[in-house]
Amino acid sequence: MDNHPPMKLRRRRRAFLWGVLMILTVSVALPTAVTWVAAQDAEHANPRAEFWRAVRQGAAGFSTVRGPQANVLIDSRGEDWRLLRNGPVAGFGAVAMGSMVVLLLLYSILHGRVRIEGGRSGRTIPRWSLFNRTLHWYTAILFIVLAITGLSLLYGRAVLIPWLGLDAFAAYAAFAKLVHNYLGPAFAIGVVLILVLWLRFNLPEKTDWQWIKAGGGLLGRGRHPHCGFMNPGEKIFTYGSMLVLGIVVVATGFVLDFPNVPQPRATYQLSQLLHDAAALLWITIMLGHIYLGLWGVEGALEGMVSGEVDENWARQHHDLWYEQVKQGTATQEAIRGPQGGGAGTPEPGRPSTV
Residues at the interface with ligand HEM (CB under 6 A): 127, 136, 139-140, 143-144, 194, 198, 201-202, 230, 234-235, 238-239, 242, 286, 289-290, 293-294, 300-301, 303-304
Residue 118 C-beta: closest distance to ligand HEM, Å? 19
Residue 184 C-beta: closest distance to ligand HEM, Å? 13
In whole angstroms, give the CA distance from residue 132 to residue 126: 12
Cross-sheet strand order for the sheet of 123-126: 308-310, 123-126, 350-351
Residue 173 C-beta: closest distance to ligand HEM, Å? 23
- Helices (runs of H) and strands (runs of E) counted in the chain: 16, 3
In whole angstroms, give the CA distance from residue 65 to residue 71: 7
Cα–chain center distance at 26: 61
Residue nearest to ligand HEM (CB): 293
Indicate the DSSP class of residue 28.
H
Q: Which is nearer to ligand HEM, 187 or 268 (CB)?
A: 187
Q: Which is nearer to ligand HEM, 159 or 290 (CB)?
A: 290
Q: Which is nearer to ligand HEM, 202 or 271 (CB)?
A: 202
Q: Which is nearer to ligand HEM, 81 or 321 (CB)?
A: 321
203-210, Cβ contacts within 8 angstroms, sequence gap of 24 or more: 204/235, 207/320, 208/232, 208/235
Is 4 buried (19+), middle (13-18) or exposed (0-12) by CB count in 10 A? exposed
Q: Which is nearer to ligand HEM, 139 or 252 (CB)?
A: 139
Q: Which is nearer to ligand HEM, 268 or 322 (CB)?
A: 322
In whole angstroms, give the CA distance from residue 35 to residue 32: 5
User: Around Cβ 82, how many Cβ atoms within 10 Å?
Assistant: 11
Q: Which is nearer to ligand HEM, 97 or 301 (CB)?
A: 301
Residue 96 C-beta: closest distance to ligand HEM, Å? 16
Cα–chain center distance at 110: 28
Per-position b or e across 283-321, b if 16+ CB within 10 A of its CB: bbbbbbbbbbbeebbbbbebbbebbbbbbbbbbbbbbeb
Residue 308 C-beta: closest distance to ligand HEM, Å? 11
Residue 233 C-beta: closest distance to ligand HEM, Å? 8
The amino acid occupying position 149 is: T
Residue 289 C-beta: closest distance to ligand HEM, Å? 6
DSSP string, 165-219: -HHHHHHHHHHHHHHHHHHHHHHHHHHHHHHHHTGGGGS--TTHHHHHHTGGG-S
Residue 152 C-beta: closest distance to ligand HEM, Å? 17
Residue 319 C-beta: closest distance to ligand HEM, Å? 13
Q: Which is nearer to ligand HEM, 92 or 239 (CB)?
A: 239
Residue 167 C-beta: closest distance to ligand HEM, Å? 32
Q: Which is nearer to ligand HEM, 172 or 239 (CB)?
A: 239
What is the helix, strand, coil percentage profile of the chain, to 5?
Answer: 70, 5, 25
- In sequence order, which residues have a C-beta less than 8 Å from that of residue 108 and are 6 or more positions away? 291, 295, 296
Q: Which is nearer to ligand HEM, 160 or 343 (CB)?
A: 343
